[in-house]
């Protein structure tokens, strides 16, 4: 099983390509925009490794994240809003007050969705103190915020407002690689 997972991670790395923004928006307009994101994720937590697809539908008051297995089958569906978070996995539905607690309790690891929406767009959350390193175009290359280290390994192109296409996130014993294949802003 580990061999298959390692091969999938290597395949994901080899197949990474630039995102295709369906509706490009300047950085200022992206901050409050709803978006859909399609990509791939590889998670290493303690001795366990997982990889597959990720689909995220972000709206101002609601998020829905699908974590898919290597063959595209949904492994977990996470829905959160200001009042509640739910996670559906294997026909069971789990609930908690916030998404991070829920993911930690059910999956054993969590993503900080409230700040991750900013990080995935190549910016820090303006409310939380951060340490930032930038490249010659002014894009973030390293971000340390909320106990996480976020490395931006690739952007869609060389433009200063380009969207990230490959990101790694590290927090304690959790290592996540995200490959963003497609963005859509202000979906209907």
Cα(161)–Cα(158) distance, integer angstroms: 9
Per-residue model confidence (pLDDT) at position 13 = 35
Q: pLDDT tens digits, residue range 6-52?
A: 333 333 333 333 333 433 444 444 455 799 999 999 999 988 898 99
Per-residue model confidence (pLDDT) at position 31 = 55
Per-residue model confidence (pLDDT) at position 32 = 57
Question: What pTM was computed for the model?
Answer: 0.80
pLDDT(158) > 60: yes
Per-residue model confidence (pLDDT) at position 114 = 87
Cα(48)–Cα(82) distance, integer angstroms: 31
Residues with Cβ within 8 Å of residue 138, at least 6 apart in sequence: 160
Question: Is the distance from CB of 35 to CB of 185 less than 8 angstroms?
Answer: yes
Per-residue model confidence (pLDDT) at position 186 = 81
Per-residue model confidence (pLDDT) at position 19 = 39
Residue among 45, 53, 73 at smallest CA distance from 11: 53
pLDDT(1) > 60: no
Boundaries of domain holding 12: 2-185
- Look at the block and give the residue holding tokens 């399609």: 38
In the chain, the number of structural domains is: 1
**CATH number, residue 108:** 2.50.20.10
Q: pLDDT tens digits, residue range 168-188?
A: 999 999 999 999 999 998 876
Q: pLDDT tens digits, residue range 57-100?
A: 999 889 999 999 876 678 899 999 989 999 999 899 999 999 99
């Amino acid at each position: 099983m580990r061999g298959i997972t390692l091969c999938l991670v290597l395949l994901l790395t080899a197949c990474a390509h630039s995102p295709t923004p369906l509706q490009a928006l300047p950085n200022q307009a992206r901050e409050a925009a709803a978006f859909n994101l399609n990509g791939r994720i590889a998670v290493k937590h303690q001795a366990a490794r997982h990889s597959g697809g990720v689909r995220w539908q972000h709206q101002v008051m609601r998020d829905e994240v699908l974590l898919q297995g290597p063959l595209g089958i949904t492994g977990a569906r996470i829905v959160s809003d200001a009042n509640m978070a739910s996670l559906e996995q294997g026909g069971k539905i789990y609930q908690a007050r916030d998404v991070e607690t829920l993911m930690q309790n059910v999956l054993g690891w969590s993503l900080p969705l409230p700040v991750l929406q900013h990080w995935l767009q190549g910016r820090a959350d303006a409310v939380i103190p951060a340490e930032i390193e930038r490249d010659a175009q002014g894009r973030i290359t390293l971000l340390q915020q909320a106990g996480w280290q976020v490395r931006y390994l690739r952007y869609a192109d060389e433009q200063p407002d380009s969207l990230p296409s490959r990101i790694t996130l590290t927090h304690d014993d959790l290592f996540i690689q995200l490959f963003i294949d497609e963005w859509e802003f202000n979906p209907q």
